[in-house]
Structure 1
Amino acid sequence: MPGPDHSLTMSGLSSSQSAGSSDSAEPTASKKVNADYGVFGQVLYHLVSFTEGYEQQVLYMCVRTFQSTLKFSKRQLTMLVTVSIMSRMCCSLVWGLLADAFETNLVLAAGLLFMGIASIFLSSASHYSAILFLRFLHGAAFGCVYPVQQKIVAESDDDKNSSTFTRLHALNTIGRMLCAVLTTEAAQNILLGYIGWRVSYIVLGYVWISIGIAIIFGMQTEQDLSTPYESIEIFISQISGAFQAVFMSWSAFLSIFTMLIAEAPMCTLPYMITYLEYLGVSDLKVGVAIVVTTIGGAAGTAAGGKVIDRITKLHEDYGELIAGIVVMGVRLIVCLLFFVSPAPDGRLLWYHYIEFAIMGATLVTVGGVDRPIMKKAIEEKYQATASATT
């Protein structure tokens, strides 16, 4: 009788082993590799968020000074602000595409260095056309921060951890508040022999350049996570995939509106200051109101962030969304109370300060909701590009 077919047995064994090895290799291949930037690297991109918040308010705080010292008309000032915002929005997509393809620290450093140089040139410009052009370049470089920051957190943090976004938004808010306190007064005074707004721009320029250089050498990872575009087809696929990821996912699409609501009060802060001054509130009390708002923001980071994390753990699918809706409801009530109640008659009462503190807390917590939703709803390879489209 013929013996057993050893060749068939061995081939079956080898095929089963290879199948088993492929099965075991599959989860390993799909496992996410987190980028480790180290403690110094984390400090750097947190510092970027704080300085970004300060930078965002500088132009608004200097508008009145431009009108008095450079004799710009209101139409020219409006154009200046519009060009700066539009260039930042339009160029964010370019920075997002670069961040999804190349090393994030190099992309971020390039944008910060470019922005620092533009700020230094702005400090010495006086002609409207030159300032307008430099504001365009500055806004184009400034567009790098948001998408690259989203990519950095997405590739370095666990999906279940959203506290990083809360801290970043808190630092951004505190930076804006400090700018409103410091630059409003400094922009009109003479500092070191120069008008204050020029000193503010040149100091910010050197700060951005210093941070950019530090990021190049101090924010490196052992893993190379860059995936350069090898063809124009892959490049086009990246753009279309990012837009589909945003507009085909209802969670990501909804976060666009939460981001809009989160940013709106901060954009109106300069006008709120002007409104209080128009009502006869002294500069000291306006400054106190801003400080109270900052304290509320810090409290919102500590308490609100923990509450959101607790809600997210209880309801993993919709916890952050529920928290965002509640916070936006609280913000709406506070805003209505502030404007429906009698206007401050030259002074702020105790309940006005409470309203400012609650407003500050909601500024931080809403920002800690929308970006984690975006992080969870969109694939990592589209994070920077998709966040730039929002």
Structure 2
Amino acid sequence: MTDPAELRAAANLMRTAEPTDRMLAVCIRAEGLTETWRALSSTARDDGPDNSRARSFIASCAADFGITVSTEAVTKAAERWKTRITGQDCDADRDLRIMERLGARLIAPGCAEWPQQLDDLGLDAPTALWARGPGNLNDLTSVSCALVGARAATGYGTALAKNTAFELARDRATVISGGAFGIDAAAHAGALAASAGQASTIALMAGGVDRMYPRGNADLLEELCRNHLVVSECPPGATPMRHRFLARNRLIAALSTAVVVVEAGWRSGAINTAHHAAELSRPLGAFPGRASDAESAGCQRLIREGGAVLVTEPDHVRELLGTADVAELFSRESARAQREPADGLSDAELKVFSALPVQRGVDCSTLAVRAGLDPQSTRAALAALELAGLAHRSGDAWQKGR
């Protein structure tokens, strides 16, 4: 969609309501962006004190959409939208002009850059998204992994996030996170280290894309704006707030092919993102951490409750993304398991092997007593162990093979 009227309507509606306002989503689904903005803006300015025209429009949209809403819900929606529209905060031309100067653009449903996976959110899908940076949002999210976790991350957590992000970005998978301190910043930094001039990471913001928040990560976020991508459903100048962070988390989950929690406490915004991922049927993984670490309690909780797959290395994350060579991974993991000398021995052979001394060999009769076997079974076991190189005979004395 490139219709300027549609884009202006989307920009105004993004200022009219907070993210996840389902009543506004119903109106847009029923009437479209342009007609919804025309109806709401005209009624806000010309309606009576009871907002009767606005309430009628909202109720009609709900009926067309096929849902029943209470009179109270309709009234409250009309009131909260009117407050913003009449407050002269809605000026799409100004927002588009400001964003153009910053090299940003508005992406709305129907645009070629709109990722279809956002539609999985249903009525919680964003009205539109502001994007700042050269990366194409639709292309970047075709194979993408969200790496999320605690702001107060440990050295263990940040190293995991950086290494995992580096490996994924080197494979041309996009790393998505929230631009915050801790795990988020480490994930973005790891992707940047492997980007080799390609857009490889996306930061989803809880405020406007013209506000680099947190300020301590301003340099990192500016780099993403120049060469990668920063995205938000909040209008220019919007201040990050708690409810906007929580709303932002659903976008991180929806835009990702898989979600991995690197390190998180029992109560964490990353856990909120994980729950969104589960609701959207996105593959979910978590690094376990040490059992005693409070910083990993949230990850352990996700694994214990069965919502997340335990991951310990980038290849496990590739499995979640569907990009791993499973046969190669299985072969490599099998090779890691060191074979013990006693592997594959029969019960009698294992008993004799355990009874064999390392030095100062003993005769077969003594071994039979030690192993609790009859002499014939002991001799047969010794023959098999000798062939395998696990037993050595010097005269009549036997000992473990060298």
Same fold per TM (> 0.5)?
no
TM-score range, shorter chain: under 0.3
Q: Which has the larger radius of gyration?
A: 2
Larger strand proportion of the pair: 2
TM-score by length of structure 2 reads 0.23
TM-score by length of structure 1 reads 0.24
Larger helix proportion of the pair: 1
